[in-house]
Each structure stands twice: as C-alpha cells, then as structure tokens.
Amino acid sequence: MSSQSMSLPRARVSGHALVFRDSSLEQALTLGAFLLEIPPALDMGPGFEICRNFYRPRRDAQDVLRGHRDNPHKRSRLGYEDRPNQVEQLQIESHLWREYFPLPTALLLEAIKVVTLQALRHLFEASGVQQEHWATITGGTLDETSLCYTTLNHYRSGVRGTLGIVEHTDSGFITVIAADQPGFEIFHQGLWRPIPLEPGCFIVNLGDAFQILTAHLPLPGQAVLHRVIETQPAADGPDRSSFTVYMGPNFDMDLYQYSQSGALQAYQSFRTFSVHKSQGMGYDFHARV
C-alpha cells in the first residue's frame, strides 16, 4: 500500500558538479534517489515519441520508429523484452542508438548520456571513489563506462490487475529517468512513497553496483528500491511512457568494493550477481549476455 508522497532532493549540473537546492548531496546518497533538472536545451519529445511507437507495427522498411517488438536487434545483447507486469521494454546499448533509432532520438540520448556521466563522476568523488580506480571499476575511461544503454518503457493500460513494473533496485551505478506520467514510488522507512512528477526534472536512481562499491566509504550511496504502480491513462490519453539512460559495469566484469581499510577489491562477477537477482524477481536474464 502507498503512503503520503515525498519530495526528493533536487540538483542541477553546473560544469562537472551537482549543485543541490534546499537539500544536500548526503541526503541524495542516503535515499539513493534525487531529482536532476533537465538542461533547458534538451527537448524530451523524441524520447517520448519513440516510447509511444516502438511496439507498433512498422509502416515500411525504413521505419525505425516502430516495429521493435519483432526486430531481433541482432547487434544488441539486450533488445525487446515482454515483462510480466504492465511494462514492455526495449533496451539498446549506446553504440547502437544511431543504428536502431531515429537520429533525433539518438541525439537526445547522447546528450542525456553526457549529463548522466557528469552526475556519476560527481557522486563517485563525493563518496570517496578514487579517480585512479575509475577504469577498473567501470571498465571504461573517465569519459565513459563500459556499459551504457537506454530502456524504453511502454506501460500497457490494457494489462490490468498488476503493477506497472515490479519492485526492484537497478543493478548498475546510476539510472537517469524521464517519465510523462506519475506512478513512480520508492520504498522509504518501511512505506511505499509516491514521487510527484516534476516537470523539467529527471529522476536519478543509484543502483546495486554503486551501493556495493561505496558501502565502506565515508559517504556511501544506497540502491533505491522502487516500482511503478498500475497505471491507467486519462480518457483518450496515451499510455504511460518513460525512458532511461543507465550506466554500469559490463556483465563480463567483476563488481568492486572498497574494504574498511580503503583497499579496492573484487566483490563478485557482475553477470552472476545479475542472474541471481533476475531469478529473484521472477524473470529470465538476457539470453544473449
């Protein structure tokens, strides 16, 4: 059962730093979630347009907006998934965005990727993650992580009597979410708390890889448990849509954790961790990973 709604800490990107308004970065790390103001130059339209169309039948051979239910996405290790709740998802890695998506969508996601990376670097630094360990932890460079993808979510209003998406934590370091309707909730102090939809803001989630990595650091970050409740659009309105940019280690890497003495150590295979987690949530892990 849901309780009273709650407001999340609110931040904006300034240079390569996060600046929080009327709250603190420590609050955001403790909750594992915060709002991030969308840069004014970003038009979210192409993102929501593809969310509202990717599952529809293609109109012709050149139609990259639709037809993704039946597209095998052979170069992706992720692709289309029919989840057990209201949601159906399309997950595509960042290096394939221009191949599978219309150019305006790819350009928008690439811009959000830059913002996501800036936020992650600032959060790592605030928690006490050493810059010299970035390549080991992420499998990338200071300007990249080894795994970045988008998840396009269509919440099917015709699927009734279930959640929008089951309660879960994200597996990676960070996920930046844009949504067009309410329904997002986080589990806080024993209660499900609705998060009001704030126009002009992303919701940012910290994931398991971040929590594991920073558990013994001065400012650890928590993986936020969240869900989307059953959604039903207004009369003649579109189904709920959301899309994300996710960053994490590659599935063939190890997760890492700083020890209490400050040494960086391998924790567990990320693939093994992810397989066990998906089984606990009742769905199959990506067959191609």
Q: Would 287 be classed as within a structural domain?
A: no
Report yes or no on 257 lying in a domain. Answer: yes
**Helix then strand then coil, % of the chain, to nearest 5:** 25, 30, 45
Q: CA 142, 146, 148: angle at the middle one, nearest 5? A: 100
Partners of 21 in beta bridges: 10
pLDDT band at 120 (very low <50, low <70, confident <90, very high): very high
106: pLDDT confidence band, cut at 50, 70 and 90?
very high
Nearest partner of 121 among 136, 134, 109, judged by Cα = 134
17: in domain: no
Helices and strands per DSSP (H, E), number in the chain: 7, 15
pTM of the predicted model as reported, rounded to 2 decimal places:
0.95
What are the pLDDT digits (tens) for 27-63? 999 999 999 999 999 999 999 999 999 999 999 988 9
For residue 1, pLDDT over 60 is answered with no
Q: How far apart are CA 167 and CA 188, in angstroms?
A: 13
State residue 111's pLDDT score. 97
Per-residue confidence (pLDDT) for residue 113, from 0 to 100: 97
Query: Per the domain annotation, does 127 fall within a domain?
Result: yes
Q: Is residue 5 part of a domain?
A: no
Q: What is the pLDDT of residue 2?
A: 62
Are the C-beta atoms of 16 and 126 separated by less than 8 Å? Answer: no
Confidence at residue 278, expressed as pLDDT on a 0 to 100 scale = 82
* 285: DSSP letter: P
Which residue's entry shows tokens 């280690």? Answer: 249
149-182 residue pLDDT tens: 999 999 999 899 999 999 999 999 999 999 999 9
Residue 2 lies in a domain: no
The residue ranges of DSSP E strands in the chain, in sequence order, are: 10-14, 17-21, 33-37, 79-82, 87-93, 147-155, 165-168, 174-179, 184-188, 191-194, 201-206, 226-228, 241-248, 254-258, 264-269
Cα separation, 156 vs 233, in Å, equals: 10
Q: For the chain, how many structural domains are there in total? A: 1
Query: Containing domain of residue 56, as a range?
Result: 32-281
Per-residue pLDDT of 69-90, as tens digits, reads: 999 999 999 999 998 899 999 9
Mean pLDDT of the chain: 93
Residue at 27 is within a domain: no
CATH of the domain at 223: 2.60.120.330
In a domain, 11, yes or no: no
pLDDT single digits (tens) 181-238: 999 999 999 999 999 999 999 999 999 999 999 999 999 999 999 999 999 887 888 9
